[in-house]
A and B are shown apart, each in its own frame.
Chain A
Amino acid sequence: MAKVLMKGNEAIGEAAVLAGCRYYFGYPITPQSELPAYLAKRLPEVDGVFVQAESEVAAINMVYGAGSAGARVMTSSSSPGISLKQEGISYIAGAEVPCLIVNVMRGGPGLGNIAPAQSDYWQSTRGGGHGDYRTIVLAPNSVQEMADMTITGFDLSDRFRNPVLLLSDGVLGQMMEPVNLPEPNDYDINSKKWALGYRGNDKNERNLCSSIFLDNDELEEHNWHLYQKYQVITDLFSKGEYKDFAVEEHLCDDAEIILVGYGIISRILKTVVEKCRKRGIKAGLIRPKVLWPFPTAVFERLAKTASQFLVVEMSCGQMVEDVKLSVDGKKPVFFFGRTGGTVPSDFEILNEVDKLVRPD
């Protein structure tokens, strides 16, 4: 298929349709509204269902229902709207229902503003709602990856019966880049044996999807089961089949200073690394593509060769904590952030690098 020039938000919508998603429930909010707008037009063309719910809370619970019935389903919002969805996400994680949740981050806290930000890292990677649970968090950095990771996200959520969060920001949602769209996938709604809608049981057994376990022992057993599932996922991402998918390294082998960033920031950092190299500074880049499970192993390895790390985020410093945990005190980890909707320029980051490598 020829390349198409698309907005990030629209690319997610088209990729969802190609992945077999036929159900979308959401409520409009800038800067992600192009996504529901796209699906409002597109889903009816493929006999799908688009519902603009009365609120984010309603939308996430519709997702819970459709996912329990075995459908590929998604919702999307931006930061304040994702906060509203947290109760539902906790129920979905507890009931082990697959779904895709898209967050196109904007500035917070509270109503904040509508400009791009990365200040929902903690909310995304620490569960977000109540209870002991995790969501798999994918962090694209281009419009192409918005499309690709939407499809991967559906596959991962089905495989692990776990909600997957696609964590993007206002720049990626709004920007246009050429995209190669993948081939459509014929998803079979009757393929999940645990789902309410499953029709293959000989004895006409009924399935139940629920997050309620009133008996203490039952809930403890369920929580340890979830914990073990998260361990399996962590292993698959740190040393198993998703190892290479989880992280991108750029010029790290001989790097003295390693820059760390995800999403749109990683694109800017790549330019900074190029400029550093031209000026004789041995800089490299680690870009986590998956934020939970965090790609700890790459930091453990490179902490042996690099002399320092500089984490850059559009927040006051959130992912930097995971980097510090991974580097484990072996090398200094510094932070540079801009917040409130300002995207840091390559020049100001370069200035920070200069201060670290040439302190005089």
Chain B
Amino acid sequence: MSSKVERIILAGFGGQGVLFLGKVIAETGMHAGKNVSWIPSYGPEMRGGTANCSVILSENEIASPMVTVPDTVIAMNRPSVTKFNQKIKAGGMLMYNSSLIERQEFRDDIRLVEIPANEIAEELGNPKVANLVMAGAYSKFSKLITFDDLVACLPSLVKGAKKEMLDINLAAFKKGFDYVEEKKYMFGRYVYSVFKGI
């Protein structure tokens, strides 16, 4: 991953909050002083359909905001892996929601990070925060935003939210971040090095 720019595609079912997840990452980047852009896919879509958005974080001015070759794909469901897996830059990262996507024959030239986002969110008592678990996990890998940036930006993202809601969002960030940290310890080679299939 280049230290100057991070191009991300975030995808999932409508309702999984992938557009908001993209906004969380973009707005955090903006507050951290980076240039950012966010583009949603939009179409004649409905609940249960697929949604995705493209986010760029950059230290320099962003020329094209379109993401054709993402450094990272964050996939919340299986169709998203099918759709975007082949587009990831060689040496890039596929971060996927292993609650809904089983381990399979992925490419062997990308870094794989599996996060059971739904299970983690359910443990926290609210399945809707699975998207924010992914945000916490992403901040572990990003060179342009940190976990602290995410936490600092949260109040501006959920304006007027009740304290309980803020707390559960923060907990989701933390769980996602910690999960990656623990995995590094448990499956260091698996998470951080090239994955050669199962």
A interface residues with partner B (beta carbon < 8 Å):
3, 5, 30-31, 114-115, 170-171, 174-178, 264, 267-268, 270-271, 274, 343, 345-347
Contacts and interface: CB of A to CB of B under 8 A. Distances in A.
A176 B66 contact: no
B26 A176 contact: yes
A144 to B, nearest CB: 11
A22 B139 CA distance: 42
Interface residues of B, number: 19
Contacts of A3: 30
Interface string B43-75: 110000000000000000011111010000000
B68 A347 contact: yes
Contacts of B44: 114
Nearest to A274: B63
Interface of B: 23, 26-27, 30, 35-40, 42-44, 62-66, 68
Contacts of A178: 30, 35-36
B36 A270 contact: no
Contacts, number: 60
A274 B35 CA distance: 18
17 contacts: A5-B26, A5-B30, A114-B42, A114-B43, A114-B44, A170-B42, A171-B65, A174-B39, A175-B37, A176-B23, A176-B38, A176-B39, A264-B66, A267-B62, A267-B64, A271-B63, A346-B66
Given A176-B23, A176-B26, A343 B66 contact: yes
Contacts of A271: 63-64
A174 B63 contact: no
Given A5-B27, A5-B30, A114-B42, A177 B66 contact: no
Given A178-B30, A267-B63, A268-B66, A5 B42 contact: no
Given A114-B42, A264-B65, 9 more contacts: A170-B42, A174-B40, A175-B65, A176-B26, A177-B36, A267-B65, A268-B64, A271-B63, A345-B66
A261 B185 CA distance: 50
A259 to B, nearest CB: 12
B39 A171 contact: yes
